[in-house]
Structure 1
Amino acid sequence: MEAKKVAEIATSAGEILLSNGAEAYRVEETIKKICSSYGFNGECISTSTGIFISISDQEGEFVTSVKRINLRRVDLYRVELINSFSRGLAENPLPYEEAKNKLREIYNAPNFSLGIRLLAAGLTAFSYAIFFNGGILDALVSLLISFGIYLLLEYISKIGSFQFLEYYLSGFIIGAVSLAIGSFFPQINKDNVITGAIIVLLPGVALTNGIKDLLYGDYVSGFAKLGEAILIIVAMSVGIVTALSIFMKWF
């Protein structure tokens, strides 16, 4: 197979990995493994927003590929599919068209339905509200708020906006609604409600991957992911503090 086609396969696989929450070292190792499966020596540098690939062919010529990643989310199912794909290539290198079709199937793999994701978000908020000494009523309110916040983020992400604004508004709504409900229903503790509701927003995967990248020596990608996680936490915290500062005198 031509080096250009191998670079295209490797770039597509790396794009799926990076856009779905994989660590930088995983992207680089997978791309090198794919190149090696076809008998080429490939080098890769992965950052949080892009992939740079260079492959040398038998004549010593180099093929370079660059791919910028604009949209990023967390979908470990697709990450696992690409891992299986790269391991399969090591044992049985697929023809170009077959490999591209396989990658297209992985890219278009169905997501969990909105109802399942809402249920997961709600149960997560409910569980953490209980875990941090909240009562059943606190947990139920956290569950309902997390439903609304998840739907809000789904809507805002589709129309496009600054990430800081998304999480600022989410934090503001959590703080305002928790304070209002806690004032009308004294048996509900607003602090426990806020604790449960914000769990859905916390960037746990980004924090973990950032630390793992740093431990593997990928400092650019590691600090970028940690910076993104800190930005989310700050935006959410500022939103909650703003809501509490504004509405505390009213309720």
Structure 2
Amino acid sequence: MNDNLESTDELNHIDSDRLLRLSLDMGEGMLKSGAEIHRVEECIRRICLAYGVAHVEVFAITSLIVASVRLSNGDMSLQMRRVYNSSNNLMRVEKLNDISRTVCKNLPSLDEFEKMILNAKKETQSHWILQYLGGVLVAGSFAILFGGSILDALVAALMGMIVIFIDNLPVKNLDSTVKCVVTSFICGLLTCVFVNFGIGHDQNIIMIGTIMLLIPGIAFGNSLSDLVYGDILAGVSRLVQSLIKAVLIAVAFGLAIFTAGVLL
């Protein structure tokens, strides 16, 4: 079968611990990248069963993954993984899904499995040019869609570039929601400044284009998917997080408008 595990019957306690750790690495990567809870649990379960584990139990929510395996000889292994921050990286989710299918089909050695996970973490970050291009197109297009002028779209596109720039700043230990709120306030304030000096006509339209880059649409959709699949705790948790984040974004833009009214 592979170099480390010659047959599924020879899976020992040390191998099961490592297999479970690698499976949790996969699940953590998917959860951090915005995957649905049921996909995370299914990924871990299928990988462990493919390598000959007799029984697998997985429980995941938006901030925690707990998994246990039982071997055919009765040995058990239990591990948990705390997940602190998450983002939206569907390229990484797709890559990890492909790895999961490959692993379940071909059963590579655990060393090869680990290399595949490390490569996925390195390769699935979009090029910075594509990120900025996406920010410009999304913000500018929505400004036009909601009735803005070409100048409004250009200002919204600039705000989109600022959103991407702040999002990619290497700031450690800063919660993604806090970063999003700070970004909203900065972009809202700059929008008011631009419009006040005649660069742009409708600050509301410009802000709408910018907000489209910030609202947690994927997280909201995933929360509904989790609820449909019966993951009530995870679905409600993610839904509440999405709603709170959306409210904070609106408050940040409102505070920016108020601040601009006082200062300008």
TM-score of the aligned structures, taking structure 2 as reference length: 0.88
Q: CA deviation at 1:169?
A: 2.2
Q: CA RMSD in A?
A: 1.9
Match of 2:44 in 1: 31
SS in 2 for 1:80: helix
Task: Evaluate the alpha carbon distance shift between residue 92 and residue 220 of structure 1 in structure 2; reply closer, same or farther with a 3 A threshold.
Answer: same
1:111 aligns with 2:111: no
> Where do 1:183-194 residues align within 5 Å?
183-185=196-198, 188-194=201-207
Q: How much has 1:126 moved relative to structure 2?
A: 0.7
Kept in 1: contact 2:155–2:200 (CA 8 A): no
In the aligned structure 2, how far is the partner of 1:163 from the partner of 1:71? Answer: 7
Cα pair distance change 1:55/1:246, threshold 3 Å: same
State the match for 1:16 in structure 2: 29
Q: Deviations over 1:4-36 (max 9, x none)?
A: 232123112112111111111000111111111
Gaps of 5+ in 1: none
Amino acid at match of 2:57: E
Contact kept in structure 1, 2:155 and 2:199, CA below 8 Å: no
User: In 1, distance between residues paired with 2:57 and 2:229?
Assistant: 16
Q: How many Å separate the matches in 1 of 2:185 and 2:193?
A: 12
In structure 1, the partner of 2:181 is: 168
Partner of 2:136: 122
- How many matched pairs? 250
Contact 2:194 2:200 (C-alpha < 8 Å) held by counterparts: no
Q: How far apart are the structure 1 equivalents of 2:116 and 2:176?
A: 32
**1:70-95, CA deviations, whole angstroms, 9 ceiling, x for partnerless residues?**
23221111211221122223322112
Q: Which amino acid aligns with 1:107?
A: K
The match for 1:234 is: 247
Q: 1:216 aligns with which of 224, 229, 233?
A: 229
Residue 95 (structure 1) aligns with: 109
- Please, which moves more after superposition, 220-229 or 39-48? 220-229
Q: Deviations over 1:191-237 (max 9, x none)?
A: 11111111111111111111111111112211221222122212211
Distance in 2 (alpha carbons) for counterparts of 1:163 and 1:90 = 33
Deviates more, 1:180-189 or 1:202-211: 180-189
Q: Which amino acid aligns with 2:107?
A: P
Q: CA deviation digits over 1:84-107, x for unaligned, max 9?
A: 122223322112211122122112
Residues 132-171 of structure 1: pairs in structure 2 closer than 5 A: 132-155=146-169, 158-171=171-184
Give how far 1:250 is off: 5.5
Are the equivalent residues in 2 in contact too, given 1:163–1:232 (CA < 8 A)? no
Residue of structure 1 in register with 2:3 after alignment: none
Query: Could you tell me how far apart the structure 1 residues matched to 2:224 and 2:72 are?
Result: 38
Please list every run of 5 or more consecutive structure 2 residues that lacks an aligned counterpart in the other structure. Answer: 1-10
Q: Is the 8 A contact 1:34 1:90 kept in 2?
A: yes
The letter of the residue matching 2:134 is: A
- The two structures have a TM-score, normalised by structure 1, of 0.92
Quick check: 1:50–1:66 contact (8 Å CA) kept in 2? Answer: yes
